[in-house]
Amino acid sequence: MGAAGVRWALDVGCWMLDVLQFPTMNRSSVNHIWLHRFAVFTALATLALLAVGGVVTSKGVGMAVPDWPNTYGYNMFLFPPSKWVGGIFYEHTHRLVASGVGLLTTILAVWLWIVESRRWLRWLGVIAFFAVVLQGVLGGLRVVLFKDEIGIFHATLAQLFFALVCAMAVFTSRRWTERRAPSRLVSENTNHRAEAVLGAPVRRLVLATTVLIFLQLVLGATMRHQHAGLAISDFPLAHGKLWPATDAASVARYNSNRAEVTGANPITSVQIVLQMAHRLMALVILVCVSVLAWRVRSSGAPSNASARSKNGSQRAETVLGAPLRRLAFGWLALIFTQIALGAWTIWSNKAADVATAHVLVGALSLVTGVLGCLICFRRSPQDERSPVAAFSETAPVHGVSV
């Protein structure tokens, strides 16, 4: 049996498992399961696109194909494989994968518009469609106009688009659509105890850390798309110091050493400051995620005041704290991995595979933060005032959490 047959068998098997596991499902429920799976597949395809785009930037071959939307005068989809050589292979592959993601996003948006009852989610699909179109246009303009600034915006929008598609995959999942807020699972008193378990400070910390990670990705994209190589070639020190000198004489000395050792393009004091800001931001993010992991871990200890209080705290922790605790420690592992990859990027003289892995883990770190925000605001005891709850398919009743 060929690959197509195996794929068909797996699809049929998954469908049968769905029916066996959820015998009460109607056709609409099964359709939504496949919608969710398609959204997950689109998110994975977007991650693959980020990987290919990262390789293109890391290898500096973004201009290997100088025209757009054609490829050396050919229709992009008819470009002869025999000409896929050197940097052309990476850039042309990037364009084809991007086209595939665009097609998947279009299908997802149409599918959502047809079957989804939540109006806000249908419009999220429309936003995703226009975002992927804009992303493709920006990629083309980056080639045609040869502007690094467009490349920076192109890379930034790619991260936001990936986060959006991942959020849509969450919104279409059974766990999201069928799971209601705490009051459906615990009493109102337990719901108030949940406020003490997680609390507004934790939710603000998750949101602030996610914003910091996004700003960190913007800094990273700015550094990568200046194509100046490594502005600082050592780590953990910077040009042999904790904070490098950035006066004209020092920068001239750095450039002289770079020319002798690597022949890389000259750098400026601004590029040095950008990389130091990138390092400091990484430290701040590490501290924030570490504090979050400590907070959600320590909040899991139940109260010993009374058996009733203890049981209530345990229920609140189970409903609210457990998912966020798992996410926080996974997030912390990603941040440690990201810092290690950043150091390895410097030590390897910006090896393409290491630098690309650094980009991918950064994207996963951002998405983890976005999912953390969804958990916090979805499960907040103040759901009636949260923006996520406002998007719920069932409007909350005043005084009752939903």
DSSP category for residue 241: B
C-beta of residue 155 within 8 angstroms of C-beta of residue 376: no
Any idea which of 110-114, 135-139, 256-260, 378-382 has the lowest mean pLDDT? 378-382
Question: Among 8-17, 30-39, 140-149, which stretch is predicted with the lowest mean pLDDT?
Answer: 8-17
Give the pLDDT confidence score for residue 29 in this predicted structure: 61
- pLDDT, tens only, 341-366: 999 999 998 999 999 999 999 999 99
Is the pTM of the predicted complex or chain greater than 0.75?
A: yes
Question: So where are the chain's domains?
Answer: 1-178, 180-402
Q: How confident is the model at residue 102 (pLDDT cuts 50, 70, 90)?
A: very high
Q: How far is the C-alpha of 206 from the C-alpha of 92, rounded, in Å?
A: 38
Q: Which residues of 303-318 are buried (b: 16+ CB within 10 A; e: fewer)?
A: beeeeeeeebbbbbbb
Chain mean pLDDT for the chain: 80
pLDDT of residue 296: 86
**Contact 383/396 with Cβ under 8 angstroms?**
yes
How far, in Å, CA of 299 to CA of 228, rounded? 46
CA–CA dist 338, 340 (Å, integer): 5
Per-residue confidence (pLDDT) for residue 342, from 0 to 100: 95
Q: pLDDT-derived band of residue 186, with 50, 70 and 90 as boundaries? A: very low
- By mean pLDDT, which of 37-51, 116-130, 267-281, 287-301 is the weakest? 287-301
Predicted local confidence at residue 178, as pLDDT: 72
Q: Is 74 strand, coil or helix? A: strand
Confidence band for 21, pLDDT divided at 50, 70 and 90? very low
Distance CA 166, CA 43 (A): 6
Give percent of the chain above pLDDT 90: 58
| Residue of higher predicted confidence among 392 and 256 | 256
Please check the confidence at residue 383 and state whether its pLDDT lies above 50.
no
